[in-house]
Amino acid sequence: MGIFDEEAKKTEGIAQKHTSDREHEKNVPSNVKKLDRINGRDVFFIAHKEKAVTKEVGKANLNVLNLNKKMLFEMVNSGASDLHLTAGVPPCVRVDGSIYRMYQYDMLTSDKIQQVVYSLLKDKQKKDFEQNNELDFSFGLPGLSRFRANVFKQRGNIACAIRQIPYKKMSFGELGLPAAIDDFVKLPRGLILVTGPTGCGKSTTLASMIDYINKTRPCHIITIEDPIEYTYSHHTAIVNQRQVGDDTSSFFIALKYALREDPDVIMVGEMRDTETIGAAITIAETGHLVFATLHTNSAIESINRMIDAFPAHQQSQIRTQLAFVLQGVMTQQLIPRAHGPGRVLVCEILIPTTAIRSMIREDKLHQVYAAIQTGKQYKMQTMNEALTVAVKKGIISSKEAKNRSMNKIELKNLFKHYGMVY
């Protein structure tokens, strides 16, 4: 249920405190299609925007702990992905990719943000933040959700970004993942990359794949994260989750010792440096299945990023190793739906065939894109093909497809091929 919208300022006078529901409904304007009530607040949906506006019924004198819970409750029940706390504006949420202000709250100050954030931190975390001026951490509210947060300084003030990490791991079908994912999770060994920009759902995709393996394979899974996001119970597999900072000093150190921990599957939250990339490749070489993420916008860019992380004299060796261990690259985007709330997952898929492995090994990456285009029988697809199919199905708009495409000429040709208006 959405509860925030920029229209709030225009409609602040709508919601009034009434003595009965019938009297209440008489005062709701014609563009409101549904009325509800959350935590003593009037909530009404605006017909032309599948979102809503809230008007607080009486100012509540909240302590910091209750304020936290209230904001996080409203964030989750609005379908928001993120909550932003920044001095000089009210709390803000990101709903379907756009930022909306929570006008029912006063403007935040740096002191208020510090009180809110410090109520979530352990003493060690407070010291780490005060020393480094930034901190990643995670926490959970039973019965509501888990959250990943980053607290940082800006212009001398404390700010915080909090992302919702639902307790429930979604299935492949619920996420709209492509058919190639079914093959990825059944592989006995190799390297699988899930890539894309920040906020595109990489963690959610990885969680779905790890959850599937956890429920279907008698194996040992190790995750290395900063911080831990989704949590797992032991099912058919056993799962050990290590958090950088609390359980290990770095991704590289955790990977260095992972082989002594008898793993079958290892998930690396993020490959940030040369050492971590090298360790992940080596572990995949030794017969383990490794999942990892990169902040890249295409499958080819992902391969280039890994190779270019190494000095020139090592790149030939890395190309050979990568050509041997790479089993798949999925690059994803989340795009607002054409109709109604929510976002749609669109993906580029690369499956290393014998030809593609040769291209990687021989430094002919410029030929890989053509191989993806002609690789439909191997369940490959380019991002433009995925965008075109989504538009053809009416799931996303052509405008959004154009905005997200990195090769608009090719996208235009694909539209023409399918008889669609560009």
The mean pLDDT value for 258-263 works out to 95
> What DSSP line would sit under 77-108, residue for residue?
HTT-SEEEE-TTS--EEEETTEEEE-TTSPPP
Domain ranges (residues) in the chain:
1-57, 59-166, 172-381
Q: Model pTM?
A: 0.80
The DSSP call for residue 297 is S
Q: What is the pLDDT of residue 344?
A: 95
Res. 375: pLDDT tops 50: yes
- Which has the higher per-residue pLDDT, 57 or 286? 286
Q: What is the pLDDT of residue 63?
A: 59
Res. 342: pLDDT tops 80: yes
The least confident of 64-73, 241-250, 295-304, 387-396 is 64-73
Q: What is the pLDDT of residue 22?
A: 37
Q: What is the pLDDT of residue 64?
A: 65
pLDDT band at 220 (very low <50, low <70, confident <90, very high): very high
Could you confirm whether domain 59-166 is CATH 3.30.450.90? yes
Q: Which is it for the CA torsion 21, 25, 26, 28, positive or negative?
A: positive
Place of tokens 């014609």: 30
> What DSSP line would sit under 261-286, residue for residue?
G--SEEEES---SHHHHHHHHHHHHT
User: Average per-residue pLDDT in the chain?
Assistant: 86
Q: What is the pLDDT of residue 101?
A: 83
Q: What is the pLDDT of residue 76?
A: 86
Angstrom distance (rounded) from CA 72 to CA 91: 11
Angstrom distance (rounded) from CA 188 to CA 190: 7
Q: Which CATH number fits domain 172-381: 3.90.79.10, 3.40.718.10, 2.40.50.140, 3.40.50.300?
A: 3.40.50.300
Rama region for 141: left / alpha / beta (φ>0; ψ in -120 to 50; rest): beta
Contact of 292 with 268, CB cutoff 8 Å: yes
Q: What is the pLDDT of residue 288?
A: 98
* pLDDT tens profile 39-74: 444 444 333 333 434 443 333 344 566 778 888 888
Q: What is the pLDDT of residue 105?
A: 82
